[in-house]
Amino acid sequence: MGVQARRIARERDRANVERDRANAERDHAKVQRDRANQISEFMTRMFTVSNPSESRGNTVTAREILDRASKEMETGLASQPELRGYMTDVMTEVYLNLGLFSEARAMVSRSLELTRAALGPDHVETLRTANLLGKILAMSGHLEEAEPYFRSTYEAQVRTLGPEHEQTLKSLVNLSNIAADRGRDEEAEKLGRVALATLTRVRGPEVYDTLVARANLADFLNRQGDRSKLAEAERLARSAVAGLTSGFGPEHQQTLLTLVTLTEILSAEGGRDAEAEALVRRVIDVEQRIAGPDHPDTLLAERRLADALRDTGHLAQSEQLGRRVLGLQRRVQELAHPETLGTMNGLGRTLSAEGKFAEAEKLSREALGLERDSLGPRHHLTLETEEVLADALVGERRLPEAEKLARETLGTARAALVPTSVQLSRLEYVLARATARLGRRDEALSLLRGAVDRGLSPADARAIGSDAQLASLRSDPRFAGLVADAQVASRP
């Protein structure tokens, strides 16, 4: 073949490649256009009132439209499982934003069943839907039921999509979250760090999933109660808030949730109460306006405010708000949901601080029964409830019972928590209160020394000198030294 013929052949091949690329782009555009048209037609049907008797002007709610669409998907999109999966994702997000967990669960469970039958168990859409179902279960407090969905989905995605695929990394983030929720703090931190590093490298530092992973890691570090990790937690949380605010807006759901995490970190660090309270009040104002007063995210922020009010001595306000939040959570969330249980602990602590020990005991015993069934004896919420209960028993002068519970819980906590955990110091403090009332001064002072050296919470450090349960120790010069050390350690 001559030079001219080779040149012509090359030009012909190049033209064929360009034609094929143009055809592929045209076909892809057509698929996207057809999908958009199908979605538009589907949603138009959902908003159309076919029966004039159904028309109620502007009173048709988002929930009614969602419920109608959920029923319609099985028939209207029966032959298009991938489109049905896409619509399920969109509608689930709306259900969750409205706090309608049971409705979201029913829709996604049915979608998973249909998608698995149509596309197979390892298809990308099937795995995405399974992951979504796990997310719903976890958000509604069914942690034990949720974890197998996350784990099996992640393993299948690693095998079929690869460890750095977008959907695989979403499942890894969910696995880290469920480990934290079930009290496996070290595992949560390890998985969270892997997820954040991989997302930052593969997808970039400012994409949404990376920012969520950064916020999650800040939350994991704070939950451990290890004061040595709070500076890193604050840095991560502030970075996540900045990225979310810039990329998705100051009123985005994840921005607001991360701000709540930041307020918890600030309070844990000590000396930042005013900043923390101002932040959480701002979040509550936005959540009430956007999500409504009964939404789980609003209640989470209000619970955080109730804790802040207690820690700054505004006990009556803390109790009033805590009661309101708990009443709503009992209605809109599962009773054994970690957020509900956390509110019960916070309210119990406030009631004890007010001297309402019998009511604090009753509430703590209710929470403890739920936690032992759903979370386990080593979970941080279980340990916290046992500590709140022991403290209430001290207030009721049931000292041998209080000592026994505090000592047993402290033994469990020493095996389950890091040595610098604030929870350990709090348990030592409660046990010191019991032994001081029992007249065992040296043991009480030794326990208090351990609590102070380990790092008391800022609220406890401020209150130790005036604690009525420790009145028998005030004549001992060692106690004055402990009070002075606690005040110094509580400063930021």
pLDDT per residue as tens digits for the range 438-485? 999 999 999 999 999 888 888 888 889 999 999 999 999 999 999 998
Q: Which of 265, 286, 307 is the last residue of a domain?
A: 286
In a domain, 473, yes or no: no
172 and 262: one domain?
A: no
Q: Which of 232, 252, 286 is the last residue of a domain?
A: 286
169 and 220: one domain?
A: no
Burial class for 319, CB neighbours closer than 10 Å (0-12, 13-18, 19+): buried
CA angle 211, 213, 218 (to 5 degrees): 95
User: Is the pTM above the cut of 0.85?
Assistant: no
- The string of DSSP codes covering 192-230 is HHHHHHHHHHHT-TTSHHHHHHHHHHHHHHHHTTBGGGH
Contact between 145 and 114 (Cβ < 8 Å): no
146 and 94: one domain?
A: yes
87 and 137: one domain?
A: yes
Who contacts 412 (Cβ-Cβ below 8 Å, separation ≥6)?
377, 378, 383
pLDDT tens per residue across span 82-119: 666 667 777 777 777 666 778 888 888 888 888 888 88
73 and 169: one domain?
A: yes
pLDDT of residue 50: 38
Q: How far is CA 247 from the centre of its chain?
A: 21
In a domain, 132, yes or no: yes
Give the three-state DSSP class for 472. Answer: helix
178 and 215: one domain?
A: no
In a domain, 148, yes or no: yes
In a domain, 267, yes or no: yes
176 and 96: one domain?
A: yes
d(CA 269, CA 264): 9
* Residue 411 pLDDT grade (very low, low, confident, very high; cuts 50, 70, 90): very high
* Residue 52 pLDDT grade (very low, low, confident, very high; cuts 50, 70, 90): very low
CATH (domain of 145): 1.25.40.10
Contact between 215 and 237 (Cβ < 8 Å): yes
pLDDT of residue 44: 45
Contact between 146 and 336 (Cβ < 8 Å): no
Q: Which of 230, 260, 286 is the last residue of a domain?
A: 286
In a domain, 61, yes or no: no
91 and 140: one domain?
A: yes
In a domain, 93, yes or no: yes
173 and 265: one domain?
A: no
pLDDT of residue 71: 63
166 and 216: one domain?
A: no
Number of domains in the chain: 2
| Lookup: tokens for 331 | 């209605």
234 and 131: one domain?
A: no
Burial class for 469, CB neighbours closer than 10 Å (0-12, 13-18, 19+): middle
In a domain, 203, yes or no: no
Per-residue pLDDT averaged across 178-203, rounded? 93
Contact between 317 and 331 (Cβ < 8 Å): no
Kindly report the number of other CB atoms within 10 A of residue 162's CB atom.
Answer: 10
In a domain, 229, yes or no: yes
Who contacts 191 (Cβ-Cβ below 8 Å, separation ≥6)?
172, 175, 176, 179
82 and 119: one domain?
A: yes
Per-residue pLDDT averaged across 50-56, rounded? 39
Contact between 32 and 24 (Cβ < 8 Å): no
* Residue 366 pLDDT grade (very low, low, confident, very high; cuts 50, 70, 90): very high
- The string of DSSP codes covering 404-420 is HHHHHHHHHHHHHS-TT
| Lookup: tokens for 328 | 């709503």
Full domain range(s) for residue 140? 69-182
- The string of DSSP codes covering 346-362 is HHHHHHHHTT-HHHHHH
